[in-house]
Amino acid sequence: MIESGHPAESDQSLSDLVLRALQQADSGELRDLLAANHPADLARVLEHLAEEVRPHIWLQIDDSARGEVLLELSESIRDAILDQMEPQELLLTTENLDPDEQADLIAELPEGAIDSLLSAMRAQDRQRLEQILSYPDDSAGGLMNTDTISVRSDLNVDVVLRYLRRRGRIPQDTDKLIVVDRTDHYIGVVALTDLLTQLPETGIAELMASDVPAIPVDMPASEVAQLFEDRDLISAPVVNPDGELVGRITIDDVVDVMRSEADHSFMGMAGLAESEDVFTPVLRGTRRRSLWLSVNLVTAFLASWVIGQFDQTIEKMVALAVLMPIVASMGGNAGGQSLALAIRGLALGQVTRHNLRKLLIKETQIGMLGGLIWALVVAVVVAVWFQDYHLSAVIGAAMLINLIFAAAGGFLIPVVLNKLGADPALASTVVLTTLTDVVGFLTFLGLAALFLV
Three-class DSSP labels, 199-267: CCCCEHHHHCECCCCCEECCCEHHHHHHHHHHHCCCEEEEECCCCEEEEEEEHHHHHHHHHHHHHHHHH
C-alpha–C-alpha distance, residues 2 and 203, integer Å: 49
Residue 9 has pLDDT above 50, yes or no: no
Q: Of 264, 280, 275, 344, which is closest to residue 77 (Cα–Cα)? A: 280
C-alpha–C-alpha distance, residues 448 and 169, integer Å: 77
Output DSSP code: residue 198.
S
Query: Which segment, 42-46, 148-152, 302-306, 309-313, is predicted with the most confidence on average?
Result: 148-152
Average pLDDT over residues 45-72: 85
Cα-Cα end-to-end distance for the chain: 74
Higher pLDDT: 202 or 453? It is 202
Residue 346 has pLDDT above 80, yes or no: yes
C-alpha–C-alpha distance, residues 163 and 190, integer Å: 15
Q: What is the identity of the amino acid at 284?
A: R
> What is the rounded (10 degree) CA torsion for 294, 271, 69, 90?
-50
CA of 121: how far to CAs of 99, 127, 213, in Å? 12, 9, 34
Q: What is the pLDDT of residue 438?
A: 92
Instruction: Determine what percent of the chain is predicted with pLDDT higher than 90.
Output: 34
Q: What is the pLDDT of residue 19?
A: 83
Q: What is the pLDDT of residue 385?
A: 92
pLDDT per position as a tens digit, 140-182: 998 898 888 999 999 999 999 999 999 888 888 889 999 999 9
Q: State residue 73 phi and psi, 5-degree precision.
A: -75, 155
Domain limits, the chain: 7-143, 150-248, 282-451
Query: Which segment, 111-125, 294-308, 363-377, is predicted with the most confidence on average?
Result: 363-377
Output DSSP code: residue 294.
H
pTM of the model: 0.63
In three-state secondary structure terms, 248 is strand
Higher pLDDT: 349 or 378? It is 378
Per-chain mean pLDDT for the chain: 84
Class of domain 7-143: mainly alpha
Range 150-248: architecture per CATH: Roll (3.10)
Residue 375 has pLDDT above 90, yes or no: yes
Q: For the domain covering 282-451, report its CATH number.
A: 1.10.357.20
C-alpha–C-alpha distance, residues 253 and 258, integer Å: 9
Residue 8 has pLDDT above 70, yes or no: no
C-alpha–C-alpha distance, residues 289 and 151, integer Å: 51
Topology agreement, domain 150-248 and domain 282-451: no
In three-state secondary structure terms, 178 is strand
Residue 252 has pLDDT above 70, yes or no: yes
Q: What is the band of 7 on the pLDDT scale with cuts at 50, 70, 90?
A: very low
CA of 437: how far to CAs of 55, 406, 420, in Å? 49, 10, 24
Higher pLDDT: 197 or 274? It is 197
